[in-house]
C-alpha cells in the first residue's frame, strides 16, 4: 500500500468516526457561541471575520449533513443484510424440518410424496383464488408442515394395514395438535400454526380438533383440507386403490358445503385437470 493511500485511508477513517462527528458539532457550537459573545461584549473586536466564520460553519454543517446521509445509508444496508440473514436462517430451519417429514414419509410407500403433492395442490388453489403472494407463501409453508405431528404417533398405528380401531383413530386425530406443539419454538410461523392446527376441521363444524365451522376455520386450513383430501382420494391407500377421476370429482361435489368450503371446492374443481396427466 502506498504512503498516499495510507494517509487517505487514515483521513477517511477519522472522518467516518462517530467521535469526530461529535467534535465537529462541539466546534460548530463553540464557533457560534464565540461569535455571539464577541458581538455582545466586544463589538469592536473582530477575532474571526464574519466571512471566515460563515465559511467554517458551512463546512461543518456540510460535513455533518453528508455524514448523516452516509450513516443512514450504512444502517439501511445493515438492515437489509440482517433481513436476508434472518430469511436464510428461517429457510434452514424449515429445510431441517422438511428433512424430518420426508424421512417419515420414506418409511411408508403409501404416504411417500404426500406432503409435496398437498403443497402443490394448495399453492395452485391459493394462486387461482388470486391471494396475495405473501399469503400464498404462508399457505405453502403450512402445507409443507401440516402433518409433522404424525412423527409423534407410533408406526404401528400410523402404518396399520386395515381399518383402525376407534381408540387408534383418536390417537391419529391428535396429530394437528402435535404438529403445533412441535413447531412451538418457531415463533415466525404464527399464521402457519393456525392453518396446520385446523386442517382437519370440516365446513359443517364436524371436524377436529376444535369443531370450528365455515369462516371460523382459517382460509389456509380450508385450502389445505381440500388439497389433503384430494391427494388421499387420488392416490393408493393401504385399504383401497386410488379413486378414478370421475369418482374424485363426485366426492368433491358431494362433500361441498359439508366437509369442504363450497366456494373453494368449486374453484378447485375448475383447475382439477391440471393435476391429472
Q: Which residues bind Fe ion (CB under 5 A)?
A: 147
Between CA 250 and CA 235 the distance in angstroms is: 16
CA Rg value for the chain: 33
Smallest gap, in angstroms, from Cβ of residue 149 to Fe ion?
8
As measured in angstroms, the least distance from the Cβ of 269 to Fe ion is 22
* C-alpha to C-alpha distance for 42 and 50, rounded to whole angstroms: 14
CA 181, 139, 98: angle at the middle one, nearest 5? 55
Ranked by CB distance to Fe ion, the top (closest) residue is: 147
Among residues 147 and 231, whose Cβ is nearest to Fe ion? 147
CB of 70 to Fe ion, least distance (A): 53
Q: Minimal distance in Å, beta carbon 228 to Fe ion?
A: 6
Contact yes or no for 222/263 (Cβ under 8 A): no
Q: How far is the CB of 109 from Fe ion (least distance, A)?
A: 18
Considering the complex, state which of residue 53 and residue 174 has its C-beta at the smaller distance from Fe ion. Answer: 174
Nearer to Fe ion, 147 or 261 (CB): 147
Question: Are 38 and 49 in contact, with CB atoms under 8 Å apart?
Answer: no
To Fe ion, the closest distance from the beta carbon of 80 in angstroms equals 38
Cα 276–chain centre separation: 30
C-alpha cell, 139: 399457505
DSSP lists the bridge partners of residue 10 as none
- Using the minimum distance from each CB to Fe ion, give the nearer residue, 90 or 113: 113
Cβ-based nearer residue to Fe ion, 150 or 267? 150
Nearer to Fe ion, 124 or 147 (CB): 147
Look at residues 205, 154, 160 and name the one whose alpha carbon lies nearest to residue 175. 154
Question: Measured between alpha carbons, how far is 79 from 161 in angstroms, rounded to an integer?
Answer: 53
- Cell numbers representing residue 25 in the block: 458539532
Amino acid at each position: 500500500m502506498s504512503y498516499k493511500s495510507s494517509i487517505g485511508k487514515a483521513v477517511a477513517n477519522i472522518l467516518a468516526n462517530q467521535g469526530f462527528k461529535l467534535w465537529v458539532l462541539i466546534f460548530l457550537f463553540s464557533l457560534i457561541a464565540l461569535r455571539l459573545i464577541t458581538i455582545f461584549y466586544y463589538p469592536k473586536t473582530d477575532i474571526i471575520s464574519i466571512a471566515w466564520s460563515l465559511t467554517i460553519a458551512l463546512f461543518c454543517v456540510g460535513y455533518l449533513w453528508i455524514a448523516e446521509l452516509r450513516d443512514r445509508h450504512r444502517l439501511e444496508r445493515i438492515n437489509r443484510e440482517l433481513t436476508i440473514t434472518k430469511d436464510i436462517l428461517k429457510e434452514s430451519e424449515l429445510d431441517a424440518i422438511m428433512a424430518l417429514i420426508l424421512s417419515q414419509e420414506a418409511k411408508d410407500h403409501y404416504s411417500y410424496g404426500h406432503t409435496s403433492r398437498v403443497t402443490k395442490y394448495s399453492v395452485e388453489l391459493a394462486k387461482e383464488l388470486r391471494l396475495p403472494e405473501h399469503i400464498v407463501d404462508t399457505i405453502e409453508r403450512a402445507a409443507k408442515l401440516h402433518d409433522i405431528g404424525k412423527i409423534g404417533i407410533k408406526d404401528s398405528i400410523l402404518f396399520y394395514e386395515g381399518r383402525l380401531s376407534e381408540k387408534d383413530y383418536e390417537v391419529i386425530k391428535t396429530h394437528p395438535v402435535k404438529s403445533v406443539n412441535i413447531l412451538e419454538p418457531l415463533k415466525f410461523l404464527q399464521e402457519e400454526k393456525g392453518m396446520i392446527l385446523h386442517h382437519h376441521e370440516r365446513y359443517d363444524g364436524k371436524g377436529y380438533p376444535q369443531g370450528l365451522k365455515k369462516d371460523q376455520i382459517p382460509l389456509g386450513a380450508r385450502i389445505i383440507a381440500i388439497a389433503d383430501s384430494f391427494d388421499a382420494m387420488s392416490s393408493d391407500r393401504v385399504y383401497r386403490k386410488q379413486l378414478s377421476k370421475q369418482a374424485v370429482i363426485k366426492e368433491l361435489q358431494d362433500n361441498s358445503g359439508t366437509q369442504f368450503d363450497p366456494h373453494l371446492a368449486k374453484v378447485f374443481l375448475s383447475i382439477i385437470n391440471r393435476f391429472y396427466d
